[in-house]
């Protein structure tokens, strides 16, 4: 039996247990994937270090990390893989011989999801909402996809500035910070929601729909629900849209391999996500 799980807040609706356990069963072994929900467990953010250390001691093979711990977990790990070091955030941790190594599969998951789901999309100017752990991965992916101008907007301007500075080494002059109150889209060709706004536990819409037009494509990393308020509003205005299901399965497929050491089948995991709905 391989033990794994997900650390985060308000994650009871997560599809990760189903995706990981079904893939393990298809390969002929058992995997126990637990939800370590800090809200349900009544734990404070400050408890993260001790909780992670307990997982190290309990012979857990590894775990995934989601909001709001993708950056906070770094200080509690022994090493970072190149993917996590490049992004500055961790969503997957492998535990081997008592050592914990952080990885990031969000970046490649989002990049491939956009490439497959929005072929021919215009990356001239992209407005990204959110600069947290997931936002760091999304921003790196957008630069890789050829975004000529990436405008980052976050409720915490200092966090947006820190992300922009981290990206300058690979995208000098292509990344700017937006004022959190400025959602104008006159020159924008695409919008990505990398905030938790729109999740089942955090309903809402991160931008006034009046700023959306058919000339703009819209992607949301939220996958539960798939039809977020943002995507519904965007489709009503004729926008091309992309939900978060492709990203979540692609990052999960890579994370499965990192944690278990077994190869994963992306097509099967994509089908399993649909089967559970």
Which CATH number fits the domain that encloses residue 137? Answer: 3.40.50.720
pTM to 2 decimals? 0.93
Closest CA to 186 of 127, 232, 119, 138: 127
| Residue 231 shares a structural domain with residue 271 | no
CB atoms within 10 A of CB 95: 23
Q: What is the pLDDT of residues 108-123, one digit of tens each?
A: 999 999 999 999 999 9
Report the chain's mean pLDDT, rounded to a whole number. 96
Do 235 and 139 share a structural domain?
yes
Contacts 24+ apart (CB under 8 A), 40-46: 40/12, 45/69, 45/72
Angle at 131 between CA 127 and CA 133, to 5 degrees: 135
Question: Do both 83 and 10 map to the same domain?
Answer: yes
**Residue 103 pLDDT:** 98
C-beta separation of 183 from 204 below 8 A: no
Q: Residue 74's CB: how many other CB atoms inside 10 A?
A: 17
Question: What CA–CA distance (Å, rounded) separates 201 from 29?
Answer: 33
- Residue 235, token pair as written in the block: 């489709």
Q: Cα dist. 188→74, 141, 215 in Å?
A: 33, 18, 9
Same domain? For 94 and 139 the reply is no
Residues 94 and 165 in one domain: no
Give buried/exposed letters for 195-223 (b at 16+ CB in 10 A, else e).
Answer: bbbbbeeeeebbbeeebbeeebbbbbbbb
Interatomic CA distance for residues 233 and 226, integer angstroms: 13
Question: Is 112 in the same domain as 99?
Answer: no
CA distance 257 to 251: 10
Query: Is residue 57 annotated as part of the catalytic site, yes or no?
Result: no
3-state secondary structure 142-159: HHHCCCCEEEEECCCHHH
In this structure, the answer to whether residues 113 and 231 fall within a common structural domain is yes
Q: What's the rounded Cα separation, in Å, for the pair 141 and 96?
A: 28
User: With contact defined as beta carbons under 8 Å apart, do 232 and 215 qualify?
Assistant: no
What do you get for the CA distance between the two ends of the chain, in Å? Answer: 26
The CATH number linked to 89 is 3.40.50.10860
- For residues 130 and 204, membership in a common domain is answered with yes
The catalytic position among 9, 70, 183, 250 is 70
Q: What is the pLDDT along the chain (277 residues), one digit of tens a residue?
A: 999 999 999 999 899 999 999 999 999 999 999 999 999 999 999 999 999 999 999 989 999 999 999 999 999 999 999 999 999 999 999 999 999 999 999 999 999 999 999 999 999 999 999 999 999 999 999 999 999 999 999 999 999 999 999 998 888 899 999 999 898 999 999 999 999 999 988 999 999 999 999 999 999 999 989 999 999 999 999 999 999 999 999 999 999 999 999 999 999 999 998 775 4
The residue range of the domain holding 190 is 107-243
One domain, residues 203 and 253: no
Q: What Å distances lie between residue 185 and 138, 190, 212, 215, 231, CA to CA?
A: 19, 9, 7, 10, 16
Q: What is the C-alpha to C-alpha distance for residues 30 and 260, in angstroms, rounded to an integer?
A: 11
**Nearest-angstrom CA–CA distance, 50 and 240:** 44
Number of structural domains (the chain) is: 2
Query: 261 and 232, same structural domain?
Result: no
162 and 215 within one domain: yes
Q: Are residues 190 and 257 in the same domain?
A: no
- Read off the pLDDT of residues 158-201 as tens digits, 9 standing for 90 and up: 999 999 999 988 888 999 999 998 989 999 999 999 999 999 88
């Amino acid at each position: 039996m391989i033990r794994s799980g997900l650390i985060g807040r308000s994650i009871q609706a997560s599809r990760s247990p189903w995706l990981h356990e079904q893939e393990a069963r298809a390969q002929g072994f058992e995997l126990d994937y637990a939800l370590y929900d800090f809200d349900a467990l009544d734990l404070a953010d400050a408890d993260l270090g001790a909780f992670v250390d307990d997982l190290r001691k309990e012979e857990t093979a590894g775990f995934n990390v989601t909001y709001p711990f993708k950056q906070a977990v770094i200080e509690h790990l022994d090493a970072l893989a190149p993917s996590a070091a490049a992004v500055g955030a961790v969503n997957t941790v492998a535990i081997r011989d008592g050592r914990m190594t952080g990885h990031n599969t969000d970046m490649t998951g989002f990049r491939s999801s956009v490439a497959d789901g929005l072929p021919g999309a215009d990356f001239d100017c992209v407005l990204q909402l959110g600069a947290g752990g997931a936002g760091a991965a999304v921003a790196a992916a957008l630069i890789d996809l050829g975004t000529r101008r990436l405008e980052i907007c976050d409720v915490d301007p200092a966090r947006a500035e820190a992300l922009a500075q981290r990206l300058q080494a690979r995208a000098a002059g292509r990344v700017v910070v937006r004022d959190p109150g400025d959602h104008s889209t006159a020159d924008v060709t695409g919008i990505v929601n990398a905030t938790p706004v729109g999740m089942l536990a955090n309903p809402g819409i991160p931008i006034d729909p009046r700023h959306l037009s058919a000339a703009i494509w819209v992607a949301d990393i939220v996958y539960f629900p798939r039809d977020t308020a943002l995507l519904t509003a965007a489709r009503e205005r004729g926008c091309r849209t992309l939900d978060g299901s492709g990203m979540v399965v692609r990052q999960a497929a890579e994370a499965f391999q990192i944690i278990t050491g077994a190869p994963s089948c992306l097509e099967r995991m994509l089908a399993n996500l649909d089967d559970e709905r």
